[in-house]
Amino acid sequence: MPEFPDPHERNRQAADCQRCPALAEARECISWGNGPLDADVVVVGEAPAEGDPEAETWQGGNLTGMAYTSRRSGRKVRTLLADAGFGHGDCYYTNAVKCHPPENRDPTDEELANCRPYLVEEVEAVAPKAVVPTGKHATATLLALDGDSLDRFVDSVLAVRESEALGVPVVPLLHPSYQEVWLSRLGYDYDEYAAELAAAVARAVE
């Protein structure tokens, strides 16, 4: 099991945020990024889920106030990064949208845009070697900084793209909820996927 993040590593970027009224009303708390501010990799998820108050530790960002702390997606992505050679001290975890969308719906374009300045601030502060978005929305919000868009997300998985706006390579991953569904369709088993992630990041920083 991956190491649960230290609450002291939570990067609280604001005392409060009311940019998205629907999210401010739906959330329990803001799910801030967490991890070392000199990490090699910034991992960007889509948005925190509702969370599980019955879970002992991994309750999810909507309840813990820290990104990627759910017992499903949080542990799955942290384990994948660790298996690719990027352990707890190598990664900073955050979300494209910091608040839980009601009924677990997808974040809207407006919500992604409202939260994008926080994400840019985080990437600039950490200055990683690579940014790894997980899923369509996280990838799209990064590409939007360069005025780019996604035609077919699965074609972008593990395909290194340089973000001119951020000055850092972007290496998209599958959303953890769909990882098992799409891995075989993309021609990977889990170990191959983790190895290709490591190779893609290595290529990105050459």
Question: Is residue 206 pLDDT above 80, yes or no?
Answer: no
Residue 75 in contact with residue 192, Cβ under 8 Å?
no
Question: Is residue 166 pLDDT above 80, yes or no?
Answer: yes
Domains and their CATH numbers in the chain:
7-204 (3.40.470.10)
Give the integer Cα–Cα distance in Å for 173 and 62: 22
Model pLDDT, residue 130:
97
Question: Is residue 190 pLDDT above 80, yes or no?
Answer: yes
Model pLDDT, residue 99:
98
Model pLDDT, residue 110:
97
* Span 87-108, average pLDDT: 95
Residue 159 in contact with residue 170, Cβ under 8 Å?
no
Q: What is the DSSP track for 118-147? A: HHHHHHHHH--SEEEEBSHHHHHHHHGGGT
Model pLDDT, residue 191:
97
pLDDT tier, 170 (very low <50, low <70, confident <90, very high otherwise): very high
Give the integer Cα–Cα distance in Å for 163 and 155: 17
Give the integer Cα–Cα distance in Å for 72 and 45: 13
Question: Is residue 205 pLDDT above 80, yes or no?
Answer: no
Give 167's contacts (C-beta < 8 A, 6+ positions apart): none
Of the candidates 200, 25, 42, which has an alpha carbon nearest to the alpha carbon of residue 123? 42
Give the integer Cα–Cα distance in Å for 203 and 126: 20
β 41-45/91-95 pair status: parallel
Model pLDDT, residue 43:
98
Model pLDDT, residue 140:
94
Instruction: For residue 201, give Cα distances in angstroms to 43, 85, 142, 185.
Output: 12, 10, 17, 22
Question: Is residue 150 pLDDT above 90, yes or no?
Answer: no
Question: Is residue 158 pLDDT above 90, yes or no?
Answer: yes
Arithmetic mean of pLDDT over the chain: 95
- For 50-80, how does the pLDDT look when each residue is reduced to its tens digit (9 = 90+)? 999 999 999 999 999 999 999 999 999 999 9
β 168-170/10-11 pair status: unpaired
pLDDT tier, 7 (very low <50, low <70, confident <90, very high otherwise): very high
pLDDT tier, 189 (very low <50, low <70, confident <90, very high otherwise): very high
Task: Please compute Rg for the chain using Cα positions.
Answer: 15
Percent share of the chain, pLDDT over 90: 89
Residue 46 in contact with residue 97, Cβ under 8 Å?
yes
Question: Is residue 151 pLDDT above 90, yes or no?
Answer: no
Model pLDDT, residue 1:
83
Model pLDDT, residue 152:
86
